[in-house]
Chain A
Amino acid sequence: MAPSTPLLTANGVTKRFGHVQALQGADFAAYAGEVVALIGDNGAGKSTLVNVLSGTMRPDSGHIELDGRPVSFTGPSDAQRHGLETVYQDLSLAPDLDPATNLYLGREIFRGGLLRPLHVLDRPAMRRSAATAFAELGIELRDMTVPVAALSGGQRQSVAVARAVAFARKVIFMDEPTAALGVVQRGRVLDTVRRVRDRGVCVVLISHNMPEVLAVADRVEVLRLGRRVASFQAADTSIDELVGAMTGALDDKEAS
C-alpha cells in the first residue's frame, strides 16, 4: 500500500548528549498514508529520533529529506511550517487555557478591520473551527470555554491530537499517545490514528505496547542502541519477532 518513494527519510543521523551517544547513524523512512510504528527498548533512541525529525532537536550529523528534498529544521515551528506536527507524550497543552485557544496557540485567528494590527483574537471563529476540528475526530466537548485542566485525561489527549491533525499536512509524530489512557480511550485514539492515515497523512507512532503496534501500524521500524536494526510489514510479523529485534536476539533479521 505504501508508494515507492518515501515522504520523510533520515539517513545516518547521530546525536550525542555529553557521554551518551543517543543516535549512532540512525536511518528512518515514512511513507504518505501509512502508520509506521517506531519501537525499541528504553534508551534505544526513539524519542531522540522523533525530536530530531520534528525539529525539536538538531542532529549532530546526518541527512533528513522531506519529499525528496533535504531539510534542516530550525525548530518545531519550522517543522510545522513544512506540515509536520507532533503529539508530545506530556501533550504540551496550556492547562489554564481553553481547548480552542490551545488548538490555535501560536496560530491565532485575528479580528479584521481596525483591530487587525492590535492582534485582537477572533475567539468565536477560533471556537467554531476548533469545534469542527474536534467533530471530525468524533470528539465531543460539552463546553469549549473551560480550561483544559478541567477536562478528563482522554479529552485532553483528544485536544492534543486534534491540534496536530488540524494542522498536519504530511506527518504526525505521536509519542506514546495511549500510555496514560484507559481501554476505551485507547481504542478511540487508535481509531483516530487510522482515520488520520486514511486522509493521506503519515502517522509515526512511538509505542511500547506490541499488540497495539501490530493492531494499528502498517509498518514497524525497530531501533536498538541508536540504530535502525529492522523494518517489518506489520502483517508479516509477530510480537516475538519484534521483541527479538528490539533486544538483539534476532540479529539475522537485520534489514536496510
Chain B
Amino acid sequence: MTTTDQVPDAPPVRGESVPWLRRALQLNEVWTFGILVLLVAFFSIAAPGKFFTTYDLTQIAVNAAIYLVLGVGMTYVIITAGIDLSIGSVLVLSAVAAAEYNIHHGGATSSWGTVAVCIVIAIVVGTAWGAFQGALVATGKIPSLIVTLGGLGAALGLAEIATGGQDPANAVSVHLQNSLGYGKLLGIPWLVIMAAVVTLVFGLILATTRFGTYTYAIGSNPAATRRAGISVGRHLIKVYALMGLMAGLGAVMWLASYGTTSIAGHSTDNLKVITAVVLGGTSLFGGRGSVLGTVIGVFIPAVLATGLIIIGVQQYWQDVAVGAVLVAAVYIDQLRRQRRDRG
C-alpha cells in the first residue's frame, strides 16, 4: 500500500549538509509516518506478541480499507481547497440504490449478473451525485462546505425515502459477500487489495499527471489557473465526481463486507476521512498534500483503536488522542507554512 508519490510541493531546501535528510525532514509524510511507527512500536512493546500478529494487521487493514478509498477522493477535493461533507450520505445512497436492485432481482441468492449490475449502479449513483455537487461548486457562487452540507442531508433523505428508513433485508448477494467481502488472495483480503490498487492508481495520477497538477494549481491559485487557459470549473466537476466515484466504491465494499446498507451508520464518515487526510499533511487551505500522507493518516486512528483495545484501555480514548493529534498537526502545518512563505 505504498505509493511513489513524488510530492511536487516539497518545501524549500537551503542547507548543503546532508540535503536528502533535510529534505526528508521537511516532508509532512515523514513526520506523520514517524508518529505511525512510534504508535506501532509502542503497542508492540506494551502488548508483546499480541499486537504485531497477522490477525491484527489484517483486521486493521480491513477496517481502514473503506476509509482509505474515501480518503483518496477527499485528498483531491481538499487539495483544490474544497471539502466534501456528503460522502457518508452518498455512500448510503449508492448502497441503497444497489440494494434495491438486488432485492428485486434475486435477493440474497441473486446471480453474478445481478451483482455486476449492483456494482455499476452504486458507482454510477455516487459519481453522478458527486458530479452534480461539483457543478454547483464550479459555479463559484456556493462554497463547497454548503453544497456538500446540503448534499449530506439530501442524499441521506433520498435513501431513507427509498427504504422507509429501515435497512432492507436481502440487500446483498452472497456471491458479493463471499468474494469481495470475506475472500482472500494469498492470505490478503480482497477488500485490502482493492483499496491498495485504488490508492496506488489515484496516488500516481495525483503525483505525476496533468490532472494532478491542475488539482494542485486550482487549490493554490484558482485565478492564475484560469488565466493559464485551464477550465477550472470543468476540473472541479471531475474532482467532485471522483469523490463520488470513491463513495460508490466504498458502498460496494461496505455491502460486501457487512451485508447491509447501514443507513444510520455513516454520519461521521466525513469527519473521520477529513481527519485522516489532514493528519496526512494535506492542507485545508489547498494546494498541498498527497495520497501517501492520507494512507498514513488513515492508519493512525486505525492503529490507535486496535492498539488501545489490545492493551486494555477503553477504545474511546482513541477519539481523544486523534482529536489532539489533529489540532497539533494543523498547528504545525500553519507554523511551517508561515516560515516557508516569504513576504
Interface, chain A (partner B; CB < 8 A): 56, 75-77, 80, 86, 88, 90, 92-98, 101, 105-108, 110, 118-121, 123, 143, 145-147, 149-153
Residues of A within 8 A of B341 (CB): 95, 149-150
Partner of A110, one of B210, B217, B229, B340: B210
> Do B229 and A94 have beta carbons less than 8 Å apart?
no
Q: Name the interface residues of B182-239: CB closer than 8 Å to any CB of A.
A: 205, 208-211, 213, 216-217, 219-221, 223-230
Tell me the smallest distance from the CB of A3 to a CB of chain B, in Å: 30
Residues of B within 8 A of A95 (CB): 220-221, 287, 341
Q: Does B323 contact A (CB under 8 A)?
A: no
Partner of A94, one of B10, B208, B224: B224
> Do A77 and B221 have beta carbons less than 8 Å apart?
no
Tell me the smallest distance from the CB of A125 to a CB of chain B, in Å: 13
Measured CA separation A189–B230 after assembly (Å): 28
Beyond A95-B341, A101-B8, A143-B12, is A120–B221 a contact (Cβ under 8 Å)? no
Chain A contact residues, majority secondary structure? loop
Encoded as 1 (CB less than 8 Å from any A CB) or 0, chain B from 322 to 343 comes to: 0000000000000000001111
Tell me the smallest distance from the CB of A223 to a CB of chain B, in Å: 23
Partner of B220, one of A90, A97, A152: A97
Beyond A93-B221, A94-B220, is A105–B9 a contact (Cβ under 8 Å)? no
Measured CA separation A235–B9 after assembly (Å): 47
In this complex, how many residues of chain B approach chain A with their Cβ under 8 Å: the count is: 33
Q: Name the interface residues of B162-183: CB closer than 8 Å to any CB of A.
A: none
Q: Does B11 contact A (CB under 8 A)?
A: yes
Residues of B within 8 A of A120 (CB): 208-209
Measured CA separation A227–B225 after assembly (Å): 31
Tell me the smallest distance from the CB of B284 to a CB of chain A, in Å: 13
Measured CA separation A95–B213 after assembly (Å): 13
Partner of B216, one of A90, A93, A96: A96
Quick one: closest B residue to A163, CB to CB?
B228
Residues of A within 8 A of B213 (CB): 97, 101, 105, 108, 121
Tell me the smallest distance from the CB of A40 to a CB of chain B, in Å: 23
Measured CA separation A96–B230 after assembly (Å): 17
Quick one: closest A residue to B12, CB to CB?
A150
Residues of A within 8 A of B24 (CB): none
> Do A147 and B11 have beta carbons less than 8 Å apart?
yes
> Do A119 and B221 have beta carbons less than 8 Å apart?
no
Residues of B within 8 A of A97 (CB): 8-9, 213, 216-217, 220, 287
> Do A119 and B287 have beta carbons less than 8 Å apart?
no
Question: Can you report 19 A-B residue pairs in the complex whose CB atoms are below 8 A from each other?
Answer: A75-B229, A76-B227, A86-B227, A94-B217, A96-B286, A97-B9, A98-B9, A105-B213, A105-B224, A106-B228, A118-B205, A118-B209, A121-B208, A121-B210, A145-B13, A147-B12, A147-B340, A151-B342, A153-B342
Partner of B209, one of A107, A121, A149: A121
> Do B217 and A105 have beta carbons less than 8 Å apart?
yes
Residues of B within 8 A of A93 (CB): 221, 224
Measured CA separation A96–B79 after assembly (Å): 11
Quick one: closest B residue to A94, CB to CB?
B220
Residues of B within 8 A of A76 (CB): 226-229
Measured CA separation A76–B213 after assembly (Å): 20
Tell me the smallest distance from the CB of B187 to a CB of chain A, in Å: 32
Residues of B within 8 A of A107 (CB): 228
Beyond A94-B220, A95-B287, is A119–B210 a contact (Cβ under 8 Å)? yes
Measured CA separation A153–B209 after assembly (Å): 29
Tell me the smallest distance from the CB of A38 to a CB of chain B, in Å: 19
